[in-house]
Copies of this chain bind each other. A is one copy, B any other.
Amino acid sequence: MNSIFQGLSAFPLTPAGPDGRVDVAALGALLERLVDAGVDSIGLLGSTGIYAYLEPAERRRAVAAAVEAVAGRTPLIVGVGALRTDWTVELARDAERQGADALLVAPVSYTPPTEDEVFAHYEAVAGATALPVCLYNNPATTHVQLSRPFLGRLSGLASLAAVKMPAPKDGGFREELEALRAVAPPGFAVGYSGDPATVPALLAGADGFFSGIAGVLPVPMLALARAARAGDTETAARLNSAFEPLWGFCRTHGALRVAYAISRLLGLGAGEPPRPLLPLAAEVQDGIAGAIGQLPGVRG
């Protein structure tokens, strides 16, 4: 397999003011840090990149700034999910025109959609772009549950090249990877997200890992992901133990809020989460400072 969706994809926060205006200079600096660290790809405007909370015009500004800042040094995957099919198609075309290397499309929902509706949505978006598309399967935010047979059906769409899965509830990565690969075409990449699952997912043979924490801690996350991808179970387990306090905060507060706290602790300039989301309480931020203090290369 040779896929843009392999390896560790770092999902940066999108720095923005309280009015939702993207701070393109701060975004450029965040991205420079990810390129320097050597992440395998950048996942701009994912859930960690607060795509759902940004006006289309601000999403376009973020893409333009990212294409300029990254300048082809690292593959750039852009999240173009939106509630309406026409909005999504427009964002996809725009990201392609601006120079994105791949797209990430979540089935954002309000009225719960049927499978036929989700399929027609992906068909329209996949038909509107020549870029490889990753299906962003994130039921915690989209509330759309995609069954395995239905994932198989979707994976047959020409542009669909990968899926970003949530960690399976029962922890059975190997079984799920096998089942998904059985229903998807050859070369279709299966990656995972949900930072505490980085090591088990990659040790089980996932093609990639999509990480919000790598957006703020690229160097330690790369060490973790590389050990796991290489099958170095001992190093991966040792590093994972060092991450465990941070995983605890992610499980309790969500990786997005934790990433904002880390940005604040490291002075990365991402600002505050978009209201209604609130910054974590001072004592939780202190706990996160302690949790990342022992990680290697935190300021890398």
Contacts and interface: CB of A to CB of B under 8 A. Distances in A.
Interface in A49-99: 52-53, 83-86
A112 interface: yes
Contacts of A140: 112
B110 A276 contact: no
A117 B277 contact: yes
A297 interface: no
A125 to B, nearest CB: 10
A174 B87 CA distance: 43
Given A110-B141, A112-B140, A112-B141, A53 B278 contact: no
Copies in the complex: 2
Given A18-B86, A19-B86, A86-B18, A275 B111 contact: no
Nearest to A274: B84
B84 A117 contact: no
Contacts of A19: 86
A265 interface: no
A120 B53 CA distance: 17
Contact of A111 (B111, B120, B277): B277
Contacts of A141: 110-112
Given A116-B278, A118-B276, A275-B120, A256 B111 contact: yes
14 contacts: A18-B86, A52-B83, A84-B276, A85-B276, A111-B254, A111-B277, A112-B254, A113-B276, A114-B278, A117-B278, A120-B275, A120-B276, A121-B275, A121-B276
